[in-house]
Structure 1
Amino acid sequence: MKEENVHALKYREAKAPQGDPASPVASLFRLDDRTIVVTGATGFLGTTVAATILESGGDVVCLDVMETPSSADWKTVEKAADQYSRNLWYYQCDVRDAAQVTSVFNKLVSKIEHPLRGLVGCAGVSDNGPAVDFPVDAFRRLLDINLTGTFLVAQAVAKEVIKANVSASMVLVASMSGYVSNKGVDTAAYNSSKAGVHQLARSLAAEWGSRVGTPLIRVNSLSPGYIRTAATAEALQKPGMESQWVGDNMLYRLSTVDEFRAPVLYLLGDGSSFMTAADLRVDGGHCSW
Structure 2
Amino acid sequence: MSNTADPSFREAKERQGGPQVSTADLFRLDGRTIIITGGAGYLGIQAAETVLEAGGHVVCLDVVPRPPPGPWAHLEQVAAQRELTVLFRQLDLTQADAVNQAFADLSPQLRCPIRGLVACAGVSDNDPAVNFSIERFRRLMEINVIGTFAAAKAVAAELQRTNLNGSMVLVASMSGSVVNKGVDTAAYNTSKSGVLQLARSLAAEWGSRKGMPLIRVNTLSPGYIRTPATAEALQKPGMENQWVGDNMLYRLSSVDEFRGPILFLLSDASSFMTAADLRVDGGHCAW
Tell me the TM-score normalised to structure 2 length: 0.94
Matched residue SS, 2:229: helix
Match in the other structure for 1:89: 87
Are residues 1:119 and 2:114 paired?
no
CA offsets 1:56-80 (integer angstroms, 9 cap, x no match): 1000011000122136432332222
Which residue identity lines up with residue 68 of structure 1 in the other structure?
R
Give the Cα–Cα distance (whole angstroms) in 2 for the partners of residues 43 and 15 of structure 1.
Answer: 32
Question: Are 2:145 and 2:195, in contact at CA under 8 Å, matched by a contact in 1?
Answer: yes
Runs of 4+ in 1 over 3 A off after TM superposition: 14-17
Match in the other structure for 2:206: 208
Match in the other structure for 1:33: 31
Match in the other structure for 1:3: none
Give the Cα–Cα distance (whole angstroms) in 2 for the partners of residues 32 and 108 of structure 1.
Answer: 19
Match in the other structure for 1:63: 61
Residue of structure 2 aligned with 1:170, choices 168, 171, 183: 168
Task: Single out whichever of 75-84 and 241-250 deviates more from structure 2.
Answer: 75-84
Which residue identity lines up with residue 128 of structure 2 in the other structure?
P
Residue of structure 2 aligned with 1:252, choices 233, 238, 250: 250
Shift, 1:100, TM fit: 0.5
Shift, 1:119, TM fit: 0.1
Match in the other structure for 1:273: 271
Q: Indicate the structure whose relative CO is greater, using CA pairs within 8 Å and at least 6 residues apart.
A: 1
- Matched ranges for 1:128-143 at <5 A: 128-143=126-141
Shift, 1:15, TM fit: 5.5
Residue of structure 1 aligned with 2:154, choices 146, 156, 166: 156
Give the Cα–Cα distance (whole angstroms) in 2 for the partners of residues 173 and 23 of structure 1.
Answer: 28
Match in the other structure for 1:220: 218
CA offsets 1:24-55 (integer angstroms, 9 cap, x no match): 11111110000000000010000000011011
Give the Cα–Cα distance (whole angstroms) in 2 for the partners of residues 16 and 50 of structure 1.
Answer: 27
Tell me the TM-score normalised to structure 1 length: 0.93
Are residues 1:107 and 2:105 paired?
yes
Match in the other structure for 1:44: 42
Matched residue SS, 1:249: coil
Shift, 1:16, TM fit: 5.9
Give the Cα–Cα distance (whole angstroms) in 2 for the partners of residues 70 and 267 of structure 1.
Answer: 26
Which residue identity lines up with residue 186 of structure 1 in the other structure?
D
Give the Cα–Cα distance (whole angstroms) in 2 for the partners of residues 269 and 275 of structure 1.
Answer: 10
Matched residue SS, 2:109: coil
Match in the other structure for 1:189: 187
Shift, 1:83, TM fit: 2.3
Which residue identity lines up with residue 239 of structure 2 in the other structure?
M
Shift, 1:85, TM fit: 1.8
Give the Cα–Cα distance (whole angstroms) in 1 for the partners of residues 249 and 50 of structure 2.
Answer: 25
Question: Are 2:40 and 2:66, in contact at CA under 8 Å, matched by a contact in 1?
Answer: no
Q: Residues 243 and 147 (structure 1 numbering): CA distance in 2 closer, same or farther, change over 3 Å?
A: same
Matched residue SS, 2:108: coil
Question: Are 1:198 and 1:279, in contact at CA under 8 Å, matched by a contact in 2?
Answer: yes
Shift, 1:213, TM fit: 3.0
Task: Single out whichever of 206-215 and 244-253 deviates more from structure 2.
Answer: 206-215
Which residue identity lines up with residue 196 of structure 2 in the other structure?
H
Question: Are 1:29 and 1:271, in contact at CA under 8 Å, matched by a contact in 2?
Answer: yes
Give the Cα–Cα distance (whole angstroms) in 2 for the partners of residues 58 and 50 of structure 1.
Answer: 9
Give the Cα–Cα distance (whole angstroms) in 2 for the partners of residues 252 and 61 of structure 1.
Answer: 35
Give the Cα–Cα distance (whole angstroms) in 2 for the partners of residues 70 and 172 of structure 1.
Answer: 23
Q: Which runs of 5+ in 2 are unaligned?
A: 1-5
Shift, 1:17, TM fit: 4.2
Matched residue SS, 2:230: helix
Which residue identity lines up with residue 260 of structure 1 in the other structure?
F
Same amino acid, percent of matched pairs? 63
Question: Are 1:44 and 1:73, in contact at CA under 8 Å, matched by a contact in 2?
Answer: no
Match in the other structure for 2:3: none
Residue of structure 1 aligned with 2:286, choices 272, 285, 288: 288
Shift, 1:21, TM fit: 1.4
CA RMSD of aligned residues (A): 1.3
Question: Are 1:16 and 1:216, in contact at CA under 8 Å, matched by a contact in 2?
Answer: no
